Amino acid sequence: MAKRILVADDNMQIRMLVNAALRSLGHDIVQAVDGEEAVEMAIEAPPDLVLLDVEMPKLDGFEVLEFLRKRAETKDVKVVMLTTAAQVADKLRGAELGASEYITKPFDPKGLRSVVEAVLGES
């Protein structure tokens, strides 16, 4: 069954690469260009998974994740951080806020697919 995946990243190239990497899985992939749009889209139609950049305009990825965890309709949405923020403190903060996984850019498309499948319980 197709899942809804929200890709939140302000970089169009990254969104295109993620879309290309995940297209073969057959899921519905929607895109947000900043943190505020990601929150709006997640509330409007809660996704099964959010791939979330940390460094975005309006709201950063950590703020988005905090917001998602506080709302009843999005508190259980799976979140994978996909970001250049590779410091140990960033990874710990993602884990503390409830991210399922933390992938640093640049990413391997096969690795991304594997993580998405695992988080969605498809592997």
**Residue 123 pLDDT exceeds 70:** no
80 within domain boundaries: yes
Across 101-118, average pLDDT: 95
122 within domain boundaries: no
pLDDT one-digit tens code per residue, 31-82: 999 999 999 999 999 999 999 999 999 999 999 999 999 999 999 999 999 9
Domain span including residue 50: 4-116
Pair 34, 57: CB distance under 8 Å: yes
Q: Which of 77, 118, 105, 117 is nearest to 9 (CA)?
A: 105
Beta bridge partners of 32: 8
What's the pLDDT score for residue 86? Answer: 83
Pair 35, 59: CB distance under 8 Å: yes
74 within domain boundaries: yes
75 within domain boundaries: yes
123 within domain boundaries: no
What's the pLDDT score for residue 122? Answer: 78
Across 77-91, average pLDDT: 92
Q: What is the CATH number of the domain that holds 59?
A: 3.40.50.2300
What's the pLDDT score for residue 85? Answer: 82
What's the pLDDT score for residue 118? Answer: 96
pLDDT range class, residue 19, cuts 50, 70, 90: very high
Domain count, the chain: 1
Pair 2, 22: CB distance under 8 Å: no
* 3-state DSSP of 2-46: CCEEEEECCCHHHHHHHHHHHHHHCCEEEEECCHHHHHHHHHHCC
**Which of the 8 DSSP states describes residue 75?**
T
Share of the chain above pLDDT 70, in %: 99
Share of the chain above pLDDT 90, in %: 93
